[in-house]
C-alpha cells in the first residue's frame, strides 16, 4: 500500500514537472507563432504542424510497441475533445493577425478561472471554492506582469480589439479541453490518447485549410524550418503528451493553473533576449503568481481529479 502511494506521488510530481516545462514552451509559442506568420499562412502552418506531429507520434508509438488503429473505436469522442484544442490553435493564429502576442498572453491568464467555473459545474465539488482567492490574485498579478505595471485595468479595456475577443473565445475552448479530456480519454494510455487527439486536430486543421477564403502564403527559409521544428516538437508533441499524462494524476484546475507562469516566462524571455526592463511591481506580481500556483498545486482537491 505504501509503495502504491509513493508511486502515485512520484507520478504526480513528474506530471507537475512536465506541465512546468510545457508552460515554458507555450509561453515561447506566442512570439514564435507571430514571427512565423510573416512567411507562411496560419492555415497552412497549423496543417503542416499537426500532420508532422501526428506522423512523428505514430512512429514513436510503433517504436514503443503499442498497437493503434488510424480510426479508433471512440473516434467521435476524440473528434469532440480535439475540437476544443483545434479552436484554441485556430483562434491563436487568427487573433495574432489582429492583435499582439503581448495581448494574447494577458488574456491567456483568464484560462484557469474559466476552467475553475467549468470544473465547478462539471464535478459539483465544493472544495473548488478554496481556489477562488489565489485564482483572482494570480490573474491580476499576471496581468500586471505582462503589462509591466504601466497599464491599469481600464487601460487594458480601452485597447481591446477583435483579435483579443477571438483569442478570448479560444481561451474558453482551452479551459473546456482541460476538463473534457479527463472524461473522454482516461480509458487509454497517455501515449495513445495523445496520438488520437493529435490526429483529431489534424482533421480539423485540414477542414480549416480547405474552408479558408484567404490566399495561401508560403515563403520557406531557414527561419521557417527552425520555428516549425520548435512548434512541432516542443509546443505540440511534448505539450500534448504532458497534458494527457497530467490529466491522469492532476485535477484540471491544477493543470490550467500552470498558465499563470506564462506571463512570467514571457517577461523572462524578453528580459533575456530583448533587454526589457523589469521594475519592482513586476517582481512583486511575479512572486504573487508563483505563490498562488504553489497554493493551488498543494491544496487538496482530489475529488476534482476523479
> What does the alpha-carbon distance between residue 90 and residue 101 come to, in Å, rounded to a whole number?
14
Per-residue pLDDT, 272: 62
Q: Where are the domains of the chain?
A: 29-305
**Residues linked to residue 8 through DSSP beta bridges, in sequence order:** none
Mean pLDDT of 31-60: 86
CB-based burial, 49-88: b 16+ in 10 Å, e otherwise = bbbbbbebbeeebeeeeeebeeebeeeebbbebbbbbbbb
> How would DSSP label each residue in 116-181?
HHHHHHHH--GGGGGGHHHHHHHHHHHHHHHTTT---HHHHHHT--HHHHHHHHHHHHHHHHHHHH
Tell whether the model's pLDDT for residue 300 goes beyond 60: no
Mean pLDDT of 45-50: 88
Maximum average pLDDT range among 8-22, 117-131, 166-180: 166-180
> What does the alpha-carbon distance between residue 239 and residue 75 come to, in Å, rounded to a whole number?
21
Per-residue pLDDT, 244: 75
Per-residue pLDDT, 293: 72
Instruction: Please tell me whether residue 80 adopts helix, strand or coil conformation.
Output: helix
> What does the alpha-carbon distance between residue 183 and residue 100 come to, in Å, rounded to a whole number?
34
Rg, the chain, Cα only: 19
Total-model pTM: 0.73
**Share of residues in the chain with pLDDT > 90 (%):** 7
Say if residues 56 and 241 touch (Cβ distance below 8 Å): no
* C-alpha 156: how far from chain center: 23
Maximum average pLDDT range among 34-38, 90-94, 189-193, 243-247: 90-94
Residue 285 has which C-alpha cell? Answer: 506580481
Compute the Cα dihedral for 275, 109, 247, 232 and give only its sign.
negative
Residue 196 has which C-alpha cell? Answer: 488520437
Q: Per-residue pLDDT tens for 233-265?
A: 888 888 878 877 887 777 766 777 777 677 667
Reduced 3-state DSSP string for 60-72? HHHHCCCCCCCCC
CB-based burial, 144-182: b 16+ in 10 Å, e otherwise = bbbbbbebeeeebeeeeeebbebbbbbbbbbbbbbbbbb
Tell whether the model's pLDDT for residue 148 goes beyond 70: no
Identify the DSSP state of 218: B
Per-residue pLDDT, 270: 62
Closest by Cα among 260, 259, 277 to 268:
277
Amino acid at each position: 500500500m505504501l509503495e502504491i502511494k509513493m508511486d502515485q506521488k512520484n507520478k504526480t510530481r513528474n506530471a507537475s514537472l512536465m506541465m512546468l516545462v510545457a508552460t515554458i514552451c507555450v509561453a515561447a509559442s506566442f512570439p514564435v507563432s507571430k514571427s512565423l506568420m510573416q512567411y507562411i499562412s496560419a492555415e497552412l502552418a497549423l496543417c503542416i504542424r499537426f500532420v508532422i506531429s501526428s506522423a512523428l507520434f505514430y512512429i514513436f508509438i510503433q517504436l514503443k510497441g503499442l498497437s493503434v488503429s488510424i480510426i479508433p473505436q471512440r473516434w467521435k469522442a476524440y473528434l469532440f475533445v480535439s475540437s476544443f484544442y483545434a479552436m484554441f490553435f485556430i483562434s491563436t493564429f487568427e487573433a495574432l493577425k489582429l492583435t499582439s502576442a503581448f495581448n494574447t498572453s494577458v488574456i491567456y491568464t483568464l484560462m484557469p478561472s474559466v476552467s475553475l467555473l467549468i470544473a465547478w459545474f462539471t464535478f459539483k465539488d465544493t472544495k473548488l471554492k478554496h481556489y477562488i482567492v489565489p485564482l483572482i490574485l494570480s490573474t491580476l498579478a499576471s496581468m500586471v506582469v505582462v503589462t509591466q505595471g504601466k497599464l491599469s485595468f481600464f487601460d487594458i479595456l480601452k485597447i481591446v480589439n477583435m483579435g483579443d475577443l477571438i483569442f478570448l473565445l479560444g481561451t474558453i475552448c482551452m479551459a473546456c479541453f482541460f476538463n473534457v479530456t479527463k472524461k473522454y480519454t482516461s480509458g487509454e494510455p497517455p501515449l495513445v490518447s495523445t496520438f488520437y487527439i493529435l490526429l483529431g486536430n489534424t482533421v480539423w486543421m485540414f477542414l480549416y485549410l480547405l474552408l479558408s477564403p484567404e490566399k495561401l502564403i508560403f515563403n520557406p527559409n531557414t527561419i521557417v524550418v527552425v520555428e516549425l521544428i520548435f512548434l512541432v516538437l516542443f509546443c505540440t508533441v511534448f505539450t500534448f503528451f504532458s497534458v494527457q499524462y497530467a490529466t491522469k494524476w492532476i485535477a484540471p484546475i491544477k493543470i490550467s493553473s500552470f498558465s499563470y507562469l506564462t506571463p512570467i516566462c514571457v517577461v523572462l524571455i524578453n528580459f533575456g533576449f530583448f533587454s526589457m526592463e523589469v521594475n519592482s511591481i513586476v517582481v512583486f506580481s511575479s512572486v504573487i503568481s508563483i505563490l498562488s500556483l504553489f497554493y493551488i498545486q498543494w491544496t487538496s482537491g482530489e475529488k476534482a481529479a476523479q
